[in-house]
Chains A and B, each alone.
Chain A
């Protein structure tokens, strides 16, 4: 499946695909290939020699403490930041060589919902759709449905400046999901969402992954990572500390019966926090 074709195939307004189909169409294919990615800001190395391979249809979690390099990596993946070294391949295409083709198949959801304040919700969706040249039939099928799903249908003709933080975040989600991109890159997906919307987003991600969409998400919420992700990478000080599913991480941390929070604290070396927590509990 070529890069552009995969995008076009995704654009067909189809219903939910049966779970088994994923394996038939996409099993084993590499959606994201990150090789020796490095980014410096002056003397500070924000991302240091990161290499990852993510398969098509996988939900991949990217965890790490504050300032570990998650957002920098995600921005490089979305084509917003130029790496100093290394390369990124999206569906086999080098992001540096053909950024527009890569952006055509990627949907990026940032952690902060910056939007055009003077547009209405529906105008914003039309604007985004036109940037990605989305077919009118796909737009009509998806935009109203997603606005309805996120509880924004009554607000579609109101200016975005009157939206709350959570509503903005939902509008960004709707705009990316509307595009039916085969690859979604999300920075902190649940910030500002109420529990109902958070639940909805999780279900939408799962359903899209079943259809063969690859989702790369960074999160601070260990609960979300545990619940949603097929595999998890932990990044500390710009370097990948470990990658694997929950069982592999447990093994790595030598904490066979622990939850992700304890594994995370162990693997990120947050011993002081563990001591403080223990002291507070006493």
Chain B
């Protein structure tokens, strides 16, 4: 009986609901086609930006080539680490807390079949973004290094294998950890997962030692340095296999077949290990997951009631976040992200740059606006976008209350915009400090960064309202929907517009300041046009999307 059940049968609800969502029967999938086209344009833009940046490094001395490859390796490893963590957090929800577990596990379905379905869906939910956005960047490397024909299949193998290994490892580790750790309830396990992730990141950076690699003086001869660079970084980390395989091919047109073999077989090893672990330990973990996080614990808060809707919406959001370990534990991930982010600025060898240090520092500070915006967009996609759909069935309480949807969204916006503002100010101010930025660029980066942040949070909320899925299994599932894809694409397009608008006036302001010149009338007009244009674009983006969100919520049943 058990063996006759096909592996794919449990995937049918997922495939069919995905098909119905993206390709509704009896109608041309206009929205899907538009999203696809929009995505292709964004990928093309990322590719072109990638070609320019990597090309810039490539045209410098040999050190530039090496540094670009080192950044390539670090990007792989960081992305891999993030994938493992987000997969572990998602896996707790998808494996143990999914609502359909009640139906599936009460049926004669063996746990390994359940694992297959959860493994595939978790892989898709957690890694589509990484695959979609990393392929253009890695393709840019291929173009700049003028890679041979084998680079493209190798790149495809490396990206998919890395995603499959990260999710295979993440899901298997989650099944194991849920049973090994002394967490009384499955939901608390995420705290331990977060700690593991912190240790993981720390070990990874100790293994790569990026601070040594950007410091050739540490090596007695340049050749030693080159040897250190070309040595496989972190040979036990699968992402490094992918990075090393591609770096070697980019530099020497050689294929390391051992790495190809490792990349092809490791996902299978993790998958079968996961199936085995699932058969052995799923039931006890699932049983524990049905206990409440609070259990019989009592929660004491302010007993005095004050009739204030905004105060209680704030409180409800905060309590929901802080009492859900799947949510607040991601603060660890954000903490690790900030450390890694700022650390990169700390170790930048600006003093050895062939260009004047102030110029390159100002250029990096300018590009950092976009990077901060990207971090804000990713976090907004994770926390702000699902916050409307995350209300679930309880959303009727807000709909039935005498509170307008506009006001409700405004309260939500204020709740989320405050921490996001603090985060972007921290990232921008700290990186400017590390880059020793003073003068106009400091203010340009702060003002543009804040404008980006405030608009991106509004956009995430608006898209979240337009595409709210109140029946989503969990918040991770919301990220796989068309709304999240559209939000990310729109966010990146908006960032590109703001950065492009700022380019010329920022350049004129900074050079005038560095040379002690006064600004010409034309520059002042350009500056005013930039400020006006950016504000108008940001306001238009925010208001249009929020307005659509309000209308959608008002008509939703």
- Which positions in A face B, CB cutoff 8 Å? 75, 78-82, 100-101, 103-104, 106, 108, 110, 112, 114-120, 122-123, 126-136, 139-140, 143, 157-159, 161-162
Tell whether, in the assembled complex, residue B293 and residue A161 are in contact, meaning their CB atoms are under 8 Å apart. yes
Question: Is B300 interfacial (CB 8 A cutoff)?
Answer: yes
Tell whether, in the assembled complex, residue B399 and residue A131 are in contact, meaning their CB atoms are under 8 Å apart. no
The chain B residue sitting closest to A172, CB to CB, is: B397
Which of B293, B294, B312, B557 interacts with A131 by CB under 8 Å? B312
With A127-B312, A158-B296, A161-B294 as contacts: A80 and B404 at CB distance below 8 Å? no
Chain A residues near B404 (CB-CB < 8 A): 100
With A129-B305, A131-B309, A157-B300 as contacts: A78 and B320 at CB distance below 8 Å? no
A133 to B308, CA, bound (A): 7
The chain B residue sitting closest to A71, CB to CB, is: B557
Tell whether, in the assembled complex, residue B312 and residue A116 are in contact, meaning their CB atoms are under 8 Å apart. no
Tell whether, in the assembled complex, residue A108 and residue B400 are in contact, meaning their CB atoms are under 8 Å apart. yes
Give the residues from 180 to 194 in chain B that come closer than 8 angstroms, CB to CB, to chain A.
Answer: none
Which of B297, B303, B315, B397 interacts with A158 by CB under 8 Å? B297
A182 to B309, CA, bound (A): 21
The chain B residue sitting closest to A185, CB to CB, is: B400
Specify which of A119, A130, A162 lies most central, judged by the most chain B CB atoms within 10 Å of its CB. Answer: A130
Question: Which 10 residue pairs across A and B have the least CB separation, nearest first?
Answer: A114-B393, A162-B292, A131-B401, A159-B294, A130-B312, A157-B298, A104-B402, A103-B402, A118-B323, A108-B400
> From residue B438, how far is it (CB to closest CB) to chain A in Å?
45
Tell whether, in the assembled complex, residue A158 and residue B298 are in contact, meaning their CB atoms are under 8 Å apart. yes
| Proximity bits, B298-336, A CB within 8 Å = 1, else 0 | 111101111111011001100110011000000000000
Tell whether, in the assembled complex, residue A157 and residue B307 are in contact, meaning their CB atoms are under 8 Å apart. no
Tell whether, in the assembled complex, residue B400 and residue A161 are in contact, meaning their CB atoms are under 8 Å apart. no
With A75-B557, A119-B319 as contacts: A128 and B309 at CB distance below 8 Å? no
Chain A residues near B312 (CB-CB < 8 A): 126-127, 130-131
Number of interface residues of B (CB under 8 A): 42
A116 to B301, CA, bound (A): 16
Tell whether, in the assembled complex, residue B299 and residue A80 are in contact, meaning their CB atoms are under 8 Å apart. no
Tell whether, in the assembled complex, residue B293 and residue A119 are in contact, meaning their CB atoms are under 8 Å apart. no
A120 to B320, CA, bound (A): 10
A117 to B99, CA, bound (A): 14
Interchain residue pairs with CB less than 8 A apart (16): A78-B399, A104-B402, A114-B392, A114-B394, A116-B391, A117-B320, A130-B305, A131-B309, A133-B309, A157-B298, A158-B292, A159-B292, A159-B294, A161-B292, A161-B293, A162-B295
Chain B residues near A159 (CB-CB < 8 A): 292-294, 299, 323
> From residue B214, how far is it (CB to closest CB) to chain A in Å?
45
Tell whether, in the assembled complex, residue B555 and residue A82 are in contact, meaning their CB atoms are under 8 Å apart. yes
A-B contact count (CB 8 A): 116
The chain A residue sitting closest to B404, CB to CB, is: A100
Give the residues from 387 to 419 in chain B that come closer than 8 angstroms, CB to CB, to chain A.
Answer: 391-404
Tell whether, in the assembled complex, residue A158 and residue B400 are in contact, meaning their CB atoms are under 8 Å apart. no
With A108-B396, A119-B316, A157-B300 as contacts: A135 and B402 at CB distance below 8 Å? no
Tell whether, in the assembled complex, residue B307 and residue A110 are in contact, meaning their CB atoms are under 8 Å apart. no
Which of B292, B324, B398, B402 interacts with A100 by CB under 8 Å? B402
Tell whether, in the assembled complex, residue A132 and residue B557 are in contact, meaning their CB atoms are under 8 Å apart. no
What 9 additional pairs, Cβ within 8 angstroms, besides A100-B402, A110-B396? A103-B402, A114-B394, A120-B298, A126-B312, A130-B305, A134-B307, A136-B306, A159-B323, A161-B294
Chain B residues near A136 (CB-CB < 8 A): 304-307
Tell whether, in the assembled complex, residue A135 and residue B297 are in contact, meaning their CB atoms are under 8 Å apart. no
The chain B residue sitting closest to A39, CB to CB, is: B557
Tell whether, in the assembled complex, residue A118 and residue B298 are in contact, meaning their CB atoms are under 8 Å apart. no
A127 to B320, CA, bound (A): 13
Tell whether, in the assembled complex, residue A120 and residue B292 are in contact, meaning their CB atoms are under 8 Å apart. no
The chain B residue sitting closest to A161, CB to CB, is: B292
A119 to B318, CA, bound (A): 10
Chain A residues near B303 (CB-CB < 8 A): 122
| Proximity bits, B41-67, A CB within 8 Å = 1, else 0 | 000000000000000000000000000
A108 to B398, CA, bound (A): 11
Tell whether, in the assembled complex, residue B557 and residue A101 are in contact, meaning their CB atoms are under 8 Å apart. no
Chain A residues near B394 (CB-CB < 8 A): 114-116
Which of A81, A110, A118 interacts with B319 by CB under 8 Å? A118
The chain B residue sitting closest to A107, CB to CB, is: B400
Chain A residues near B297 (CB-CB < 8 A): 158
> From residue B203, how far is it (CB to closest CB) to chain A in Å?
33
Chain B residues near A116 (CB-CB < 8 A): 316, 320, 391, 394, 397
The chain A residue sitting closest to B470, CB to CB, is: A114
A104 to B309, CA, bound (A): 13
Chain B residues near A139 (CB-CB < 8 A): 305, 307
> From residue A129, how far is it (CB to closest CB) to chain B in Å?
6
> From residue B387, how far is it (CB to closest CB) to chain A in Å?
13
With A130-B312, A131-B402, A139-B305 as contacts: A118 and B557 at CB distance below 8 Å? no
Tell whether, in the assembled complex, residue B396 and residue A103 are in contact, meaning their CB atoms are under 8 Å apart. no
> From residue A120, how far is it (CB to closest CB) to chain B in Å?
5
Chain A residues near B392 (CB-CB < 8 A): 114
Specify which of B319, B323, B402, B555 lies most central, judged by the most chain A CB atoms within 10 Å of its CB. Answer: B402
Chain B residues near A134 (CB-CB < 8 A): 307
Tell whether, in the assembled complex, residue A103 and residue B401 are in contact, meaning their CB atoms are under 8 Å apart. yes
The chain B residue sitting closest to A136, CB to CB, is: B305
> From residue B349, how far is it (CB to closest CB) to chain A in Å?
47
| Proximity bits, B82-106, A CB within 8 Å = 1, else 0 | 0000000000000000000000000
Which of B299, B306, B319, B401 interacts with A157 by CB under 8 Å? B299
The chain A residue sitting closest to B304, CB to CB, is: A136
Tell whether, in the assembled complex, residue B319 and residue A123 are in contact, meaning their CB atoms are under 8 Å apart. yes
